[in-house]
Amino acid sequence: MDLLLHADGIHASYDQRHILKGIGFSLHRGEILGLIGTNGAGKTTLMDVLSGSHKHDSGQLMLAGEKYGPDSVEEAQACGVGLIPQNFRLLPEQTVAEAIFRGTFQANKPHLELRDQALTLIRDIGIALDPDVRVGTLIRAEQALVEVLRMVAEEAQLVIMDEVAASLPDHDVAVLHKVLRMLIGQGRAIIYITHRLDEVRSIAHRIAVLRDGRVHKTLEASRTDVGELAFLLLQQELEDSARPAGPAGGDEALRVLKLNAGKNVRDVTFSVAKGEIFGLAGTHRSGIYQLVEALVGIHPISSGQILLNGQAVQIQSLEDAARLRVGYLSDAADAVDTDASIANGLRPGSDAGLADLHTEITQLRTVIELVRRMRIRTTNIHGSITTLSGGDRQKVELAKWMSTDCDVLILSHPSRGIDIGAKETVYKMLTELSQSGVAIILLSSDMSELVNWCHRIGVMREGELVTIEANANTNEDVLVHHMLGQKFDSKGSEARRVKAQEPGPLLR
């Protein structure tokens, strides 16, 4: 194959921290190189170097046989290097068509011309997007698909994708993989970063394992398995965790009765017990996001009731939700307060700076323990959150909510961008929370995560809650079948399928 990119002895630093420590690898045209590593291993820094947003200290980069060292993102784009960063941001007022062609030579064409080209691209790839809608009205997963289409339109020769599939459900991951194969069929090369080890095995040709700022090992994807990759990342075996068995034993914490929210949520009824982890699954336009936003006062309710501990309540804002001890972690890109320090970001409440000395010491001990448990890579807990990797920022926001005193905690894609070792810690912490009596609602596009973590799973489709599945009676394919209203086969992926157990009685 034709060599496109070669890196040799790349060193790079951030804020006097030595992040990349002599990275070397190669990438050929028509190849997908999977890049995996724990949060803080250096993946984002490497991508910043390649995409022109950060200068490396030493070492050599060669692109298409020429020395490469861009001074800006624009220079990298001119050299044919395109990046979808983990925490990408789109201009909310742009249409989908404008967002797809921004930064290309076609960006200044009339909107109708851009619209027609975008519509052709959307139809050819098979993505359900309207080229005329504003990207600010799209959920995070749909915005990710817009960014993928931008890479196609930009005609980048080296395409870097950082956690693009983190919030995509399985059937959209299949569409994404179709696009990737189309790109490499055109002679492009892709660096694909993901924490989904089963996914990287299914799409990459080779997988580079990044550890402590170095490429520890590069493997043929077809000759490895999830267990080996996890061991290379963590340097230890993953603990076996049993799926929740049987119903949660607590009294009812939340009941939703015939809830309607505009045209997107119709007559939804369900309950969540104290100590239960209740999963929610659905496609982008199933109404699932409007449902959880209605529960916390972001999306207005047109009719129906919400009961907390048996009492009807009115929740018309996030402030109402907080007062009623209902917490909500959004999957929005700007969920983390980037002006805060790591310590303040991990403290619940807004009055952390007003604490007395004893409380301050107690809070700092809690922060240090959270940093340790969640494997947040930092040398200074008083440093800015902006010094953390994307995955570690997500851990900060998640840990803050998990340490609040909530009766009901709603988490949207809590493990997005978090490495496999930290996911195990998150699961343990969620289990501890549920065992303390907290009712947890978990919204996720990762079906295996829902099956592994939840007592029951509700599936939304076209604005309705079409089923509530007991854990013992379901698997990933069953859930996706209900989501789509048609049969879906995950092709027997060992990591994303769970063998269905013997049927048991439905829970509540």
Mean pLDDT computed over every residue of the chain:
84
Using DSSP, state whether 465 is helix, strand or coil: strand
DSSP 205-249: SEEEEEETTEEEEEEEGGG--HHHHHHHHHSSPPPP-PPP-S---
Q: HSE on the CB side for 120, CA within 13 Å?
A: 8
Q: Quote the CA–CA distance of 371 and 392 in Å, as a whole number.
A: 9
CATH number, domain 3-234: 3.40.50.300
Q: Please name every residue paired with 223 in a beta bridge, in sequence order, or none if there are none.
A: none
Q: What pLDDT was estimated at residue 234? A: 85
CATH number, domain 252-325+406-508: 3.40.50.300
| Tokens (6 digits) for 321 | 């939700």
pLDDT tens digits, one per residue of 344-361: 777 655 444 555 777 777
Q: Quote the CA–CA distance of 159 and 190 in Å, as a whole number.
A: 5
Q: What pLDDT was estimated at residue 1? A: 66
Using DSSP, state whether 54 is helix, strand or coil: coil
Query: What does DSSP assign to residue 349?
Result: S
The vertex-231 CA angle with 403 and 84, nearest 5°, equals 70
Q: Do domains 3-234 and 252-325+406-508 have the same CATH topology?
A: yes
395: nearest Cα among 410, 373, 380: 373
Question: Strand pairing of 311-313 and 303-308?
Answer: antiparallel
pLDDT tens digits, one per residue of 337-347: 556 777 777 76
pLDDT tens digits, one per residue of 99-144: 999 877 888 888 888 999 999 989 888 788 899 999 988 887 788 8
Give the helix ranges, DSSP H, for 155-196: 170-185
Q: What is the mean pLDDT of residues 38-54?
A: 90
Q: Where are the domains of the chain?
A: 3-234, 252-325+406-508, 342-404
Is there a contact between 272 and 247 (Cβ–Cβ < 8 Å)? no
Q: Quote the CA–CA distance of 213 and 37 in Å, as a whole number.
A: 9
pTM for the model stands at: 0.76
